[in-house]
Amino acid sequence: MNAIPHPLSVIWQNDHLQLLDQRKLPTETVYMELQTPESVWDAIYTLAVRGAPAIGIAAAYGLYLGIRQVESMDQFWRELKRVADYLNSARPTAVNLSWALNRVQEKVMSHQSQSLEQLKEIVLAEAKLIHQEDETVCRKIGENLLTFMQDGMGILTHCNAGGLATAAYGTALAPIYLAKQKGWNLKVFADETRPVLQGARLTAYELQQADIDVTLICDNMAGVVMKQGWVQAVIVGTDRVAANGDVCNKIGTYSVAVLAKEHGIPVYVAAPTSSIDLNTATGDEIPIEERAPEEITAGFGKQTAPTEIKVFNPAFDVTPAKYITAIVTENGVIRAPFANGLKEHVHKNKDN
């Protein structure tokens, strides 16, 4: 693909981890250099790095930061589990976090006979591999999604499932970048995504950087835009897909999907197979992170609600499978009923 038009979310260079501080976008481009698993945990929890694939990548590097200074084999195994459990606690909803940490641990466990220094290198090598693979996965997702699109279409997005949420090109935004390369003129409508405004601060920012036709709208304008006939498809990412095809994504996705169904608009979910959780039967079982009330009452430092007002602030919601037209992974397209297709895609990845 062409040069990436926006800053990279995660950089590993000269044995150092650098994360783009997405809390400061779109007005400032600042990288944080992290040296400890505690700083990685904080970056994930405070949304300095966000997006399911990106936090999985960051956590894998964070696991290496936690074990690279250990001096004995006993300490290595003890710290490997402790640091992995600790990092996994940062955000409970995105399954990529536990997936990446488990993958690194499983890789190390399969090489237990190696020396201490070799085991440390295996941890780092697996983190790098997760990082590198994500770019390929996203491109394949984009190619598969592109088969549903054509020049001139209007696309509605919610939250940010673009390059800033992954290693490079994103999941839901990958087909939009590919369409740009083909010379297509897609018209993107980006929901602002209350209360943290990932659509406004991040999606609108990176699409504008790529010279893609993007219009920012408030979340409560999605229905009007659909009614006008300006939207032919909704494409969103996901933090976890349950075994039955229920999809967990940024709060507000459920509302968008219900509106889309009412207006006869297809809803496509861009999902790397690492986001498919066959151990979770339905969306009702997915743990939903609840965040600080200040995100709503005093967003970005300005009080906009009465003091001590009660607040409900879930970071995610679950869209039932009946509202999803197709789940698109790097391995292809899954349509309802989703259960068998999801299993096939996960097992295909394991076999490869």
Residue ranges of domains in the chain: 10-138, 140-351
Q: pLDDT tens digits, residue range 18-28?
A: 999 999 999 99
Predicted structure pTM score: 0.91
- Is residue 291 a known part of a binding site? no
- Among candidate residues 134, 191, 219, 239, the one labeled active-site is 239
Query: Cβ of 48: how many Cβ atoms within 10 Å?
Result: 21
Mean pLDDT is lowest, of 5-19, 180-194, 256-270, 287-301, for 5-19
- Is residue 305 a known part of a binding site? no
pLDDT at 93: 87
- Is residue 250 a known part of a binding site? yes
User: If pLDDT is split at 50, 70 and 90, which confidence band does 4 have?
Assistant: low
Give the CA distances from residue 161 to residues 102, 244, 272, in Å, rounded to whole numbers and listed in that order: 23, 22, 11
- Architecture per CATH, 140-351: 3-Layer(aba) Sandwich (3.40)
Q: Is 239 a catalytic residue?
A: yes
- Architecture per CATH, 10-138: Up-down Bundle (1.20)
- Is residue 352 a known part of a binding site? no
Q: pLDDT tens digits, residue range 79-109?
A: 999 999 999 999 988 899 999 999 999 999 9
Q: pLDDT tens digits, residue range 302-333?
A: 999 999 999 999 999 999 999 999 999 999 99
Same CATH fold, 140-351 and 10-138?
A: no
- Is residue 51 a known part of a binding site? yes
Q: Averaged over 215-225, what is the pLDDT?
A: 98
